[in-house]
Amino acid sequence: MTLLAPLLIPLVTALLAAVLGQRPRVQANVSLGGGLVLLLAAGTLLRDVTATGPQTAALGNWPLPYAIALAADGLSALLVLVAAALAVAVLLFARGWRESADMPGLHPLLHGLLAACCAVFLAADLFNLYVWFELMLIAMLGLLALGGKPLHAEAALKYFVLSMLGTLLMLAAVGLLYGATGHLNFAALREAAGQPALAAAVPGYVALLALAVLLKAGAFPLFAWLPASYHTLPAPVLAFVGGLLTKVAAYVLLRLLGDVFVTTPAALLDALGWLAAATMVIGVLGAAYHWDVRRILAFHIVSQIGYLLLGIALASPAGAAGTAFFLIHNILVKANLFLIAGLMFASAGHYDLRRIGGLYPTRPLLALLFLVSAFSLVGVPPSSGFWGKFMLVREAFAQAHYAWGGIALAVGLLTLYSMSKIWAEAFWKPAPHAENSAAAALPRSALAGVALMTLLIVAMGIHPEPFIRHLEAATAHFWRAG
């Protein structure tokens, strides 16, 4: 039951929130309550995994490897906890966001998306993974269309078209792998993929599966849907989606290549490494070009995915640990920056940096919160971003991938440029219009959500040892056959 709770709690909360759609205050309370219960259940699951080892469940009254399989180890259980903490922060923020009360579908869809993300973290067979990915797609389409305006319909269409391409590729890869091996269960696939008779066929199918996941992760050159659609979302939804969704895909790629198909050819991993470098560079250049804070941060999602792909391409336990640490750091920091962007909009009435200014003297607390997350995104010591990038770059240099490591360092400098642009334009320069200098109080619940995320980010930066030790233990078997 402990293993099923992270799926059942958000699904039940989504149902209750849908029933309470005409009572926005009660709906918001139930939604936040469901998030807190999920946080408690996720903490219990992580405690059990840490104390007794991985947890497994076989559903459908079938024996393994044919049953619907769920599994939680140190990595997946921690990610479920992080997703639950993110949900609580976002729901706190949403209580102070006036648009939320006008969108009765927001809370049901958000919890449906949360359930799908937790299920992907816990999935232990390919078809189960595919099904929950598609439920993520459905919930995401609903969230994109919530506003009801033409730009929301356009964003939903762009997301749908490219996501359906990824869906078809994933389904084809799942079918081909099942046809070749006779299995969908991760453990059975791991054993079957190592058989000499399948050595010629399986790598091609794995490459097709990886391509589908890369599209959903927003990797170069398959990222156009992301900055073209994300900026239309309401601030709390944008924070949840921008912080979590592409990282779920990155986790899946890490799990598949590092834990299931560990015999992946070196040529595929090398190609992934260069793809990671291109993703980092193109993403950070796109961020430098734009002036809308949401688009800047959306392009940085792409750029940061490049770091995660770099860690996966390194194909080592140390690279896996660095990828996992950076993934958790990026979920928290990216979501918090989107929440802060929402507060900047509430303060100045615009997302365009050219129409914002004077926030430092009028919003000193907001300025401080922004600096903490911005420094962490850049990787300034001793932030969480510094430790994540250090682990990845150190492993890249240890494996003599000097070009990959050098590009990762250079992209960090370009990230500093983007964050400096936001600081200089929104916080430091005088307000271009008198109304921007008003200092009406920001909603306390929204500030509480940002403060919660900031505390987690600071904790990861100042005291990273427990996180690193846990993740090193959780990924110690990655990329090791047998």
pLDDT average per 10 residues of sequence, the chain (482 residues): 89 94 89 96 95 88 80 95 96 82 83 95 92 91 84 84 87 92 89 79 90 91 83 89 93 94 89 96 91 91 95 95 96 95 88 86 91 94 94 96 95 92 89 59 88 95 95 92 56
pLDDT of residue 431: 76
Show the tokens assigned to 315. Answer: 């194909």
Query: What angle is formed at CA 323 by the lines to CA 319 and CA 327, rounded to 5 degrees?
Result: 175
Model-level pTM greater than 0.85? Answer: yes
- Token digits for 227? 């900055």
User: Please, is 177 exposed, middle or buried when counting C-beta atoms within 10 Å of its C-beta (0-12, 13-18, 19+)?
Assistant: buried
DSSP type of residue 260: I
383: left (phi over 0), alpha (psi -120 to 50) or beta: beta
Which of 270, 218, 267 lies closest to 241, judged by CA? 218
- φ/ψ (deg, to 5) at 191: -70, -40
DSSP tag of 443: P
Query: Is the CA virtual torsion 456, 462, 468, 470 positive or negative?
Result: negative
CA pair distance 59, 57, nearest whole angstrom: 6
98 secondary structure, DSSP code? G
- Cα–Cα distance list, 194 to 184, 188, 269, 335 (Å): 15, 10, 17, 39
